[in-house]
Amino acid sequence: MSDPQSPVRVVVLGGGTAGWMTAAGIAKLLPGIASVQLVESEEIGIVGVGEATLPHIRGFVEKLGIDEAAFMKATHATYKLGIDFRDFGRIGESYIHPFGSFGEEVAGVGFHHWWLELSRHGMAREIGDYSLAVAAAKANRFRPPSQDDSLASTYGYAYQFDATLFGPFMRDFARGIGVERHEGRVVGVERDALSGDVVALALADGRRIMGDLFVDCSGFRSILLGQELGEAWEDWTHWLPCDRAAAMPCTHATEDLRPYTTATAMPAGWRWQIPLQHRMGNGYVFSSAHISEEQACEAIIASAEGTPLATPRILKFRPGRRSRSWSHNVIGVGLASGFLEPLESTSIYLAQMAITYLIELFPTGGAVDPRDRDEFNRLVDMEYDRVRDFLILHYHATTRDDSEFWNHVRTMQVPDSLAGKLELWRRAARIEKYSDGLFYDASWIAVYVGQGMLPEAHDPRAGMIAADALARATERLRMAVTGEVAAMPGHRDYLMREAARLAEAA
């Protein structure tokens, strides 16, 4: 390390979504502390993970000082209130996992206990009818939540955008704030003989890109973290067998624009439908052990609702994560660090999370303190492992026995950390609580109930109120939800209302 006053030289390897998000985040939030260079090669394509996001993306975009409308316009974005899961628990059944809550706690007892009690009396409607986010999604309506603590504040929203446009948008933003881009292919990695730290990347044309800190955003190849430093990969294929996706866009088949992503279970995985402004994104996430790539491509063509706009493209991946995402002076962000299939739209979140922690724990003097590295790895591992368990739940909580794939995931042994959660739910309708990481009570309840995994027993207090009184109270709530939804504009109308949000017609 040179002069402690000079900025830390950050070299980002890889110009995909994760790479440009990292470069933009560091350059914007650590001006003068860090200088950022990014190495990418036009010869290497990008995976363009995830077209759907979680509400956290809004905080990231806001922190960078990016205008929401401009961002939506550039990425052809629509609003997203949740995910509609179809055929997961049983063929023919569906539910929406909303960015929001169901009902409200009454007398300290969670709404789902009251709902279970009402169900016992045959007086409950679908639990989604008591969620404003779900009801609005089903009605294809959207309005941003209110900032008070009324019913209209009980949801959040994210975006559905074109990931192949998001990367370039972040690139333009990053370059505008001083990130230096190097076109070139990395052919060598220079290490310090003593510390083993990476000191420079050698490019094919002979240039050397020197740095103090290297962020590996090279995707699955994980050129620095995996190939060079040999960080072990924890493979989770036995729990999450999907390892391919066949992606294909098509035209919109309906006038309505869904403010939600659809995930439909398939014989060997599931397929997404993500409505963007000008097209519908489709993809079949499948297990290559159970069907061939050709079969998957045929299936995605057959299931597209609109006219195909391209031939299907195959993406390959492996679920798992590196045992350490920060090793020496190399930090993996995105696929170089880990991958979880896009079932709950977590890919961009996981990159954003790593970037946020990296900025919090940034080695301002240039030298990496092992304590910061350990803290980073602890946080990243916790996030990955919690998301992993939640994804496994979607496969495991099923009665499907119509294919080898579903037989496998239905009967597999789940991680102990998940098994305990499932048992607590089955026996007492309770959710293991935590306040750190992703996916709280409402998310778990949405999947449990939505996939037909109902508990055996619920809170004793729910049984102490006359069923008809309970029915009246919940009906009032449902009417309030219905009234709120009726007052919302349609999703397409809301988008169109402000031209600044709209991309030019392609």
Partner 1 sequence: MSAPREPLRRIVVAGGGQLGILAAIALRRACPACEVVVVGGDPGPASFADASPTAMPFTNKLHDRLGIAEEQIVARAGGSYRLVARYAGWDAAGQGGVVAYGEALDPALKTAFARDWGKVRLPGAGAPPAGSLAEVLAAAGRFAPPPPGEPTPISSVDYALRWHPAAYRDLLIAAAEALGVGYVAGTIDRIEAGEGDAIRAVGIAGQGEIAADFFLDCTGPQAALLAAHPRFAFTDWSASLPTRHVYIGEPTAPLIALEDRLTLTRSGWVSEVAGLDGRRPMLGTPAPLARAEAEALLGARALGAVALTPGRAEAPWLGNVVALGDAAARFEPLGPLHLDLAHRQLALLIEMLPGRDINPLERDEYNRRSVMMMEGVHEVLALHFASIRAQAVFGARPLPGRLAAVIDQFARRGRIPFREELPLLSQEQFALLVALGWTPGLPPAALAADAAEEARARAAFAAEAEAALAFAPPYDQWLARVRANPG
Residues making contact with partner 1 (CB under 8 A): 29-33, 107-108, 113, 116-117, 119-120, 359-362, 364, 369, 371-372, 375, 420, 423-424, 427-430, 432-436, 454-464
Nearer to partner 1, 253 or 419 (CB): 419
Distance CA 160, CA 422 (A): 31
Q: In which region does residue 184 sit, left (phi positive, over 0), alpha (psi from -120 to 50) or beta (all else)? A: left
Main-chain dihedrals φ then ψ at residue 252, nearest 5 degrees: -70, 135
CB of 473 to partner 1, least distance (A): 16
Residue placing its CB nearer to partner 1 in the complex, 119 or 295? 119
**Cβ 361 to partner 1 shortest distance, Å:** 7
The distance of Cα 472 from the centroid of its chain, to the nearest Å, equals 37
Q: Residue 505: helix, strand or coil by DSSP?
A: coil
- Residue 438, classified by CB atoms within 10 Å of its CB into exposed (0-12), middle (13-18) or buried (19+), is middle
Residues paired with 250 in a beta bridge: 280, 308
Minimum distance from residue 368 beta carbon to partner 1 (Å) = 13
Q: Distance of alpha carbon 74 from its chain centroid, rounded? A: 20
C-beta of 373: minimal distance to partner 1 in Å?
A: 12
When the beta carbons of 371 and 505 are compared against partner 1, the nearer one is: 371
Query: 437: buried, middle or exposed (CB in 10 Å: 19+, 13-18, 0-12)?
Result: middle
| Nearest-approach distance from CB 424 to partner 1, in angstroms | 5
Active site residues: 80
CA 486 – CA 207 distance, rounded (Å): 61
Burial class (CB in 10 A: 0-12, 13-18, 19+), 69: middle
CB of 165 to partner 1, least distance (A): 28
> For residues 271 and 86, what is the distance between their CA atoms, to the nearest angstrom?
10
- Cβ closest to partner 1, residue 340 vs residue 429: 429
Task: Name which of 33 and 44 has its Cβ closer to partner 1.
Answer: 33
Q: How far is CA 353 from CA 11, 313, 323, 365, 445, in A?
A: 19, 28, 17, 22, 24
Joined tokens for residue 425? 């739910």
d(CA 280, CA 268): 22
> In the complex, what is the shortest distance from the CB of residue 48 to partner 1, in angstroms, rounded to a whole number?
29
C-beta of 35 vs 140, nearer to partner 1: 35
| 3-state secondary structure string across 346-371 | CHHHHHHHHHHHHHHCCCCCCCCCHH
Q: How many Å apart are CA 503 and CA 11, to the nearest integer?
A: 32
| Nearest to partner 1 of 230, 460 (CB atom) | 460
